[in-house]
Amino acid sequence: MQSTVRNIVMNCGRRGGKTNVGARKFFDNILADWERGKGLPYKPPRNLKVMKKSKPRLEYWCISPTYAMSEIQQEELAAVIPEEMIESWDASKNRIWLKGWVLIQFKSVDNLKTLVGKGGTVYGLMRCPR
């Protein structure tokens, strides 16, 4: 994808590759933010065992209508993200930690109360019904 725009809307039919293209563009945006130094300066937590939830340097959300649809997003991202960049993949909490304190969370609009983010959260790969 040669486009440098931040948001893309695709109107395609079934099995048109929308999620695949979206996952690739989403990961390209993460890498671009990383290279630009977004989220710096950042102090990693000193003691991870004491912290219940560490604060990421960069945080991204993949939003879908249901958690079942977020599994499709996770499959597509798994094909795009190199294994050596993945710190941990927690399927039970629907999140991926990448090396360098980058957090990707999978959210659903089933429960709108869970869609409250902190400042600096980037909303990325989204699946919308017709």
Say if 18 falls within a structural domain: no
Say if 14 falls within a structural domain: no
Task: Please determine, for residue 113, whether its predicted confidence score (pLDDT) is greater than 80.
Answer: no
Which residues constitute the domain of residue 120?
Answer: 55-130
Say if 8 falls within a structural domain: no
Task: Please determine, for residue 51, whether its predicted confidence score (pLDDT) is greater than 80.
Answer: no
Structural tokens at position 102: 């980058």
Q: What is the gyration radius of the CA atoms in the chain, in angstroms?
A: 15
Q: How confident is the model at residue 1 (pLDDT cuts 50, 70, 90)?
A: low
Bridge partner residues of 61 (DSSP): 105, 123
Say if 50 falls within a structural domain: no
DSSP string, 3-65: ---S-------TTSSHHHHHHHHHHHHHHHHHHHTTT-S----S-TTT-SSPPPSEEEEEEES
Say if 7 falls within a structural domain: no
Say if 74 falls within a structural domain: yes
Averaged over 37-53, what is the pLDDT? 65
Q: How confident is the model at residue 37 (pLDDT cuts 50, 70, 90)?
A: confident
Say if 90 falls within a structural domain: yes
Domains of the chain: total: 1
Say if 35 falls within a structural domain: no
Averaged over 15-39, what is the pLDDT? 81
Q: Residue type at 46? A: R
Question: What's the whole-model pTM score?
Answer: 0.74
